[in-house]
Structure 1
Amino acid sequence: MQKKVAVENNLTSIAKALENKGYTVVSPKSGLDVIAAVVMGMDNNLMNIQNTVTKAPVIDAAGLTPEEVVSRIESLK
């Protein structure tokens, strides 16, 4: 089973860190089942990201390093 994470397009360093750990990075708008969504700032709820991701945790990457984001995602297992 592939580990898919939805990551906003502007978070390239986080996307690369996740890919290096074996995750598949997809757009939050893809509608695919993901284990988590990574956004920059919780104001992104206005874009209905939580509705798109369906039950997956949303991680606010504001102020976090890519490694911290990966660690949070890995702690969801």
Structure 2
Amino acid sequence: MKRKIAVEDSLSNLAKELKKDGFEVATLNNNNLQNVDAVVLSGEDNNMMNMSDIQTKAQVINAKGLSAQELKERLNNQLV
């Protein structure tokens, strides 16, 4: 089963790598946070979408400093 991952727009390079490895990648927005398995953020300390009250059951991963391979490993380990 494909895992659906919401990825912050600024991480398009990582999104491309995830797609290559078979992940279903979606743009990060308020409408799809309940329908994804994980959310990947850049780690920047800002509220880029002006959403401070968002709740999701998805895994949230800070990609700051991670290579594409490290991110894929983390997703594969956490999305069991």
**If the TM-score is normalised by the length of the shorter chain, which range does it land in?**
0.7 to 0.9
Q: Percent identity?
A: 37
More helix by share: 1
* Paired residues for 1:1-77 under 5 Å: 1-29=1-29, 31-32=31-32, 33-41=35-43, 43-44=45-46, 46=47, 47=49, 48=51, 51=54, 54-76=56-78, 77=80
* Matched positions, count: 75
Long gaps (5+) in structure 1: none
The residue type equivalent to 2:23 in the other structure is Y
> If the length of structure 1 is used for normalisation, what is the TM-score?
0.81
- After the TM superposition, which parts of structure 1 deviate over 4 Å for at least 4 consecutive aligned residues? none
Structural RMSD (CA): 2.1
Which protein is bigger by CA-based radius of gyration? Answer: 2
> If the length of structure 2 is used for normalisation, what is the TM-score?
0.78
